[in-house]
């Protein structure tokens, strides 16, 4: 019987590509996001803002009505913000944590019951290399992705007795609409920061637009779904694997120097 996969953030980018890819591979895919995909799609779809618990409960109840269990949950919905910490508002910060962290928590919380009923459920959380190597002028994004890795690690241990495995994927730069959808700061230069904010944002946008195609992530996800044992985390992209390894072994001060040279000047 085909496995059932729920994926958030399925209206575009990595989520959409993965939903279409898994549906074509014979999975029964249920996608959700706040908007319908702009492109044609073949998978099942629900509108849901994952930051609103009433909407999450409604969609999960609908899924429960139609399915006895689900096999895989892919928490892919996410957003970016950029800018200097000094110029950021608490509203912006709450918003990114709402989507990237609390939203993932809400969807996960309300689907664990269905995952427990599967014979070996899997949760794949979409983190980022930016959660392992903290990037200035998108510090809050990095914070949310570091939080997702922490969330996954705790959840992994809590759900182990229920035969539910949890992992985080850490994609490097991927060419999607993420760059365009990122919330831009009001202040991009001033007498204190001069061009540093603008330069940093331009560098991250360029990296993303020269990044890997979304299908690369979809293929890794398929591979993880097929695997018997999930790793704690999986970095995507050769050079990013190297970066993450170096971040683990280099002295923090040296890493900070390198990141400052790349994104801080
Ligand atoms: N692109 C990269 O370089 C990169 C690298 C590492 C990790 N990632 C991560 O990959 C994931 C997907 O990003 P992407 O690159 O595919 O960008 P994207 O095309 O902008 O996709 C973001 C998705 O999240 C959904 N979303 C945002 N807010 C939501 C909410 N409140 N409720 C439900 N869905 C919501 C969006 O749909 P709606 O607007 O329709 O709700 C959209 O489907 C994100 O978690 C991102 O952090 C991306």
Copy the structure tokens of residue 38.
Answer: 């702009």
Q: Which residue CA neighbors atom 23 of ligand 1 most closely?
A: 9
Q: What is the CATH number of domain 4-263?
A: 3.40.50.720
Residues 156-193 pLDDT 10s: 999 999 999 999 999 999 999 999 999 988 899 999 99
Q: Which residues have any ligand 1 atom within 6 Å of their CB?
A: 8-15, 33-35, 48-51, 76-79, 99, 103, 126, 128, 171, 173-174, 176-178, 181, 208, 211
Domain limits of the chain? Answer: 4-263
Residues 93-148 pLDDT 10s: 999 999 999 999 999 999 999 999 998 999 999 999 999 999 999 999 999 999 99
Q: In the annotation, is 191 catalytic? A: no
Copy the structure tokens of residue 260.
Answer: 């400052």
pTM of the model as a whole: 0.98
């Amino acid at each position: 019987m085909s496995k059932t996969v729920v994926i958030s953030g399925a209206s575009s980018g990595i989520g959409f590509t993965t939903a279409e890819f898994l549906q074509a591979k014979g999975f029964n895919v249920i996608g959700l996001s706040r908007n319908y995909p702009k492109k044609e799609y073949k998978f099942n779809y629900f509108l849901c803002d994952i930051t609103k618990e009433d909407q999450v409960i409604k969609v999960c109840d609908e899924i429960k009505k139609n399915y006895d269990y689900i096999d895989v949950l892919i928490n892919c919905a996410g957003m970016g913000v950029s800018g200097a910490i000094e110029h950021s508002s608490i509203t912006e910060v709450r918003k990114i944590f709402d989507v990237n962290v609390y939203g993932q928590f809400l969807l996960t919380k309300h689907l664990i019951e269905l995952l427990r009923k599967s014979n070996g459920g899997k949760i794949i959380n979409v983190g980022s290399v930016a959660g392992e190597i903290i990037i200035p002028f998108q510090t809050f994004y990095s914070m949310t992705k570091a939080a997702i890795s922490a969330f996954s690690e705790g959840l992994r241990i809590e759900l182990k007795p229920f035969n539910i495995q949890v992992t985080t994927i850490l994609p490097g730069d991927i060419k999607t609409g993420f760059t365009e959808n990122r919330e831009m700061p009001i202040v991009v230069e001033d007498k204190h920061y001069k061009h540093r904010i603008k330069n940093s944002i331009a560098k991250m946008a360029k990296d993303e637009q020269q990044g890997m195609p979304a299908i690369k992530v979809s293929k890794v996800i398929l591979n993880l779904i097929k695997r018997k044992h999930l790793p704690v985390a999986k970095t995507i992209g050769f050079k990013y694997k190297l970066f993450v390894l170096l971040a683990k072994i280099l002295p923090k001060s040296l890493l900070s120097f390198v990141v400052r040279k790349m994104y801080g000047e």
